[in-house]
Amino acid sequence: MEPLFVADVLLDEERVSIRCEDGVIAAVGADLSPSDGDQVIEADGMLITPPMVNCHTHSAMTLFRAYGDDLPLMQWLEEMIWPAEAKLTAEDVYWGTKLATVEMLRSGTTKFYDIYWNSDQVAQAAVDAGMRVAAGQAVIDQMDSAKAPELVAESSEFLDRLGEMGPLVTPCIAPHAIYTVSEESLRGLAELMQERDAIFNIHLSETEHEVQQCLERTGKRPADYLDSLGALGPLSILAHGVWLGESELELIADRGSTVVTNPCANMKLAVGGALPYPAALERGVDLALGTDGPSSNSNLNMFEEAKIFALLQKHQAVDPSVAPAGEVLALARGERSKLVAGTPIAEGEAADFLLLDLRVPEMAAGDLDARLVYGAPSEAVDTAVVAGSVVMRGREVPGADEALAEVRERSQRLTS
């Protein structure tokens, strides 16, 4: 890989240049010059920022965008999505994800946490786009405990397969939810998490009905139930968390798990609440932000997600000081979860960053964090760099037209 030199960027209100070698930021300074053989980007004062991290999505569901909208969650899943997903091929998943990578790069995301079928195809599409992905093979046994040994073994095989796909791919274990996966499978997957030191990514407490159902079936609230199975720990990612109680938040903080909030999808599916963010902060819960899939959300724009998260939390708290712009930006960059960690722009750190065009009208003036959270359009994202490689320049993503054509054709087959 040839070194990358980015000249004349705005970093912390200073004009500097950055040199990247072997996927790492090697130098940052005002007096740097490119060397022979460097790939050079003349940034002309564009803003350099850490990238967004989409911590919960089902990226291949670009295939089901605008399909079954305006329905309650379970009706949407059972009557529309699951029957359509039964027709999926591995190639469908690849192309659905490939289109998602175009959309994510154009809106500033360079890493995503994904749960879906054919997760090796999800990972391959990400690698082909030059993006980072934490991919997990979805596990659903419809509460049939007899399937547990087979599904745990399959998850182990996918960990092996994904682990061979290179440094951009992080293999994950991905049970769908406590209402679609039996106790035996969840326990086995929790043991696999410990054995393989692998991320355990699951939906949790998305609806009030899920909580009531768990109480009736197990006598425990969802987080307590997971903990009783050994499934809560620093490698656990809990998507949604809308209906988590205070004692559950304390438990999650104690176990070091990360809760990922998905406000746009939660509001679109009318789950009846929002992540109790102030209470989670007070208890020291690790937090992150995600879009959910492009079917339940309708897009993968993390700038939009950050704004909606901030507005929802302020509205719910009846307090405009809740979720200030700087904190929301840190959340969207993965900086408020030890597991996700985020990517700061500094010497010795991974060369993952964005260049934003400050000439777009919405970026003309004002506090920078507030501009980015409340006003920045995705069109401000000009360039994306991952591990020192330029994966988008001038908003051009290689293969975008082909991915769009493939998804249009495949979506029609799947949803007809």
What span, in angstroms and rounded, lies between the C-alpha atoms of 299 and 59?
Answer: 10
d(CA 258, CA 339): 7
Confidence of residue 50 (pLDDT cuts 50, 70, 90): very high
Locus of tokens 């304390």:
250
Which CATH number applies to 4-49+354-391: 1.10.10.60, 3.90.1150.10, 3.30.530.20, 2.30.40.10? 2.30.40.10
In SS3 terms, 158-178 reads as: HHHHHHCCCCCEEEEEEECCC
Provide the pLDDT for residue 311. 98
Report the candidate in 338, 354, 352, 356 with the shortest Cα–Cα distance to residue 387: 352
Is residue 73 over pLDDT 90? no
Which pairs from 179-183 meet CB under 8 Å and 24+ separation? 179/143, 179/210, 179/213, 179/214, 180/140, 180/141, 180/142, 180/143, 181/139, 181/140, 181/141, 181/143, 182/141, 182/143, 182/144, 182/145, 182/147, 182/148, 183/145, 183/218, 183/229
Q: Which two tokens stand for residue 389?
A: 């490689």
- What integer pLDDT is reported at residue 351 of this predicted model? 98
Can you give the pLDDT at residue 89? 98
Interacting residues of 331 by C-beta distance below 8 A, sequence separation 6+: 287, 288, 289, 306, 309
Local structure of 299: helix, strand or coil = coil
Q: Which bin fits 343, alpha (ψ -120 to 50), beta or left (φ > 0)?
A: beta
What pLDDT, on the 0 to 100 scale, is given for residue 100?
A: 98
Pair of tokens at residue 107: 């809106």
What average pLDDT score do residues 71-87 get? 92
What is the DSSP secondary structure assignment for residue 9, as one 8-state letter? E
Residue 202 has pLDDT above 90, yes or no: yes
Provide the residue type at 397 as one letter. Answer: V
**pLDDT reported for residue 74:** 87
CB 50 within 8 A of CB 345: yes
Quick: pLDDT tens for 120-142.
999 999 999 999 999 999 999 99
pTM score: 0.98
Mean pLDDT of 40-59: 98
Query: Across all residues in the chain, what is the average pLDDT?
Result: 97
DSSP β-ladder status, 14-21 and 132-139: unpaired
Return d(Cα 192, Cα 240) in angstroms, integer: 23
Digit-coded pLDDT (tens) for 140-166: 999 999 999 999 999 999 999 999 999
All structural domains of the chain with their residue ranges: 4-49+354-391, 52-332
pLDDT tens per residue across span 219-244: 999 999 999 999 999 999 999 999 99
Is the pLDDT score of 1 beyond 90?
Answer: no
- Residue 149 is predicted with a pLDDT of 98
When the candidates are 3.60.110.10, 3.30.310.10, 3.20.20.140, 3.30.460.10, the CATH number that belongs to 52-332 is 3.20.20.140
Per-residue confidence at 405, pLDDT binned at 50, 70, 90? very high
Q: Is the pLDDT of residue 297 over 90?
A: yes
